[in-house]
Amino acid sequence: MPKTADIGGKRLISLAPDAWAQWVTQRSDVTAREIVSSEFQWISRASDVLIRCFSPEHGEFLQLTELQIRYKPSLPRRMRAYAALAEETFGLPVFPVLINILPPPGHSDKIVERYESEFMGLHARQDYRVINLWTVDANIVLQRPLPALLPFTPVLKGGAKQQIVARALDMLRHDEKLSDLEPLLAFFASFVFDIPVVQQIMRWDMNVLRESPWYQEILEQGLAEGMQQGILQGMQQGMQQGMQQGMQQGMQQGALRQLLRLVRARFQIAPPSIQIRLQQLNLDQLEQMVDLALAAESLDEFMLHVPALPSNGKH
């Protein structure tokens, strides 16, 4: 199973594949023929999207998009490996593009735009295009027919304004093909606005976000699965202790799964020490921590709030 958080790249790009291919290659004559499987013989990553494209000048080629929440130092090696795998599998040249959605915390990591290595006098190099979404103008995205970028509006350049996000929301709601992207827009809005502000813009309870299919993908397996498994387990144990206690325990376990998945999706890590600490929280505290995890900009900031909550243990 893929370890990276899948934010529905294939679904997004399939909305307007021609427009996407032209945008990432910066060539207006490129057409997308099909989105092909990027699951190779021994490797599969949910964040990769592979499009078979055609250009009158360059003929048929593959456009590889790697969509990442945040840049990681391991990505140059990944881009080299995956571009080579795609080229070998399909026998076509590859135009790889790395898209980083959010900037590294404190911009501490230098974003490398090529892979280079040297070993015993042998050199390897893989170029790829890098697009950092925080440098992409939100107004341009709203003006051109590129629906795949609409859910990212809040984190685009100039997009952290209520009127801009409201405009993107209106565009999603007026197109049936885009209506299911609203929770994804809310998710990224939560990175730049407080939760009450997001609720005000969206005009609905944030529980809708947590229960939506898109949010479940972001959390790898989603709240519904975690709640379902947790309630089931809790109810089995609760047969001896009473149905009400079993339901409560199941909901608490489901909420813990949801929170741990959110922490992994936001910060790419959930150390055992954090898991042990979160296991001591009751259901109300876990639900509070979900909102804090959505608003925090780093794992350290998130952890600062944990001791601030009264620890009553599990109920």
Out of 184, 217, 250, pick the residue that ends a domain.
217
Please state the domain count of the chain: 3
Residue 30 domain boundaries: 9-134
Instruction: Please check whether residue 3 lies inside any domain of the structure.
Output: no
Same domain, 212 and 96: no
Amino acid letter, residue 142:
L
Out of 217, 245, 272, pick the residue that ends a domain.
217
Q: State yes or no: pLDDT of 76 exceeds 80.
A: yes
Same domain, 130 and 156: no
Same domain, 205 and 241: no
- Tens digits of residue pLDDT in 182-239: 778 887 887 787 777 777 777 655 555 555 545 555 554 334 334 444 544 554 454 4
- Tens digits of residue pLDDT in 108-167: 568 888 998 998 999 989 999 999 999 999 988 888 778 888 889 999 999 888 889 888
Residue 306's Cβ-count burial label (10 Å; 0-12, 13-18, 19+) is middle
Residue 312's Cβ-count burial label (10 Å; 0-12, 13-18, 19+) is exposed
Same domain, 37 and 110: yes
Same domain, 168 and 123: no
The predicted pLDDT at position 221 comes to: 37
Instruction: Please check whether residue 157 lies inside any domain of the structure.
Output: yes
Taking the model in full, what pTM does it have? 0.62
Q: For 103-129, give the DSSP string.
A: PPGGG-S---SEEEEEETTEEEEEE-E
Of residues 90 and 247, which shows the higher confidence score?
A: 90
Q: State yes or no: pLDDT of 253 exceeds 80.
A: no
Confirm if 96 and 79 have CB atoms less than 8 A apart: yes
Q: Provide the token pair at 110.
A: 């230098």
Confirm if 248 and 234 have CB atoms less than 8 A apart: yes
Same domain, 242 and 142: no
